[in-house]
Amino acid sequence: MQQQHRQPELVEGNLPVFVFPTELVFYADEQTSHKQVLTLYNPYEFALKFKVLCTAPNKYTVVDATGAVKPQCCVDIVIRHRDVRACHYGVYDKFRLQVSEQSQRKALGRKEVTATLRPSASQEPPSPRPQDEERRIREQFAESEFFEQTSFQTESRPVAGGPSLLTVLLGLVCMAALMLPTLGEQESTVPVYLHLSVNKKLVAAYVLGLLTMVILRT
The verdict on residue 98 lying in a domain is yes
For the chain, what is the domain count? 2
Shared domain check, 102 and 40: yes
Contacting residues for 38 by C-beta, under 8 A, at least 6 apart: 19, 20, 21, 24, 76, 77, 79, 95, 97, 113
Same domain assignment for residues 116 and 209: no
28 shares its domain with 114: yes
Domain of residue 71, CATH code: 2.60.40.10
Average pLDDT over residues 187-193: 76
Q: Which residues contact 27 (CB under 8 A, 6 or more apart)?
A: 33, 117, 118, 119, 120, 121
pLDDT at 158: 45
| Same domain (yes/no): 42, 102 | yes
Pairing of strands 109-118, 23-27: parallel
Residue 83 in domain: yes
pLDDT > 90: percent of the chain: 39
Q: Are residue 173 and residue 86 in the same domain, yes or no? A: no
- Return the pLDDT at 3: 47
Domain membership flag for residue 103: yes
Strand partners, 93: 115
Could you tell me which residue, 200 or 4, shows the higher pLDDT? 200
Question: Each residue of 35-90: pLDDT tens digit?
Answer: 999 999 999 999 999 999 999 888 999 988 999 999 999 999 999 999 999 999 99
CA angle 101/107/113 to nearest 5° reads 110
pLDDT digits (tens, 9 = 90+) for 142-172: 555 655 544 344 444 444 456 677 777 888 8
The last residue of one of the domains, among 120, 137, 152, is 120
Same domain, 22 and 101: yes
Are residue 98 and residue 169 in the same domain, yes or no?
no
Is the same domain home to 79 and 170? Answer: no
108 and 175 part of one domain: no
Residue 159 belongs to a domain? no
Burial code (b: 16+ CB inside 10 Å, e: under 16) for 80-90 equals ebeebeeebee
pLDDT value for 104: 79
Domain that holds residue 22: 18-120
* 198: pLDDT strictly greater than 90: no
Compute the mean pLDDT over every residue in the chain, rounded to the nearest whole number: 78
77-104 per-position pLDDT tens digit: 999 999 999 999 999 999 999 999 887 7
Please report the pLDDT score of residue 23 as a whole number: 94
Asked if pLDDT for residue 12 goes beyond 80, the answer is: no
Query: Collapsing DSSP states into helix, strand and coil, what is residue 48?
Result: strand
Do 135 and 41 contact (CB within 8 A), yes or no?
no
Nearest to 26 by CA among 94, 96, 121: 121
Q: Are residues 169 and 109 in the same domain?
A: no
Residue 187: band (very low, low, confident or very high) from pLDDT cuts 50, 70, 90: confident
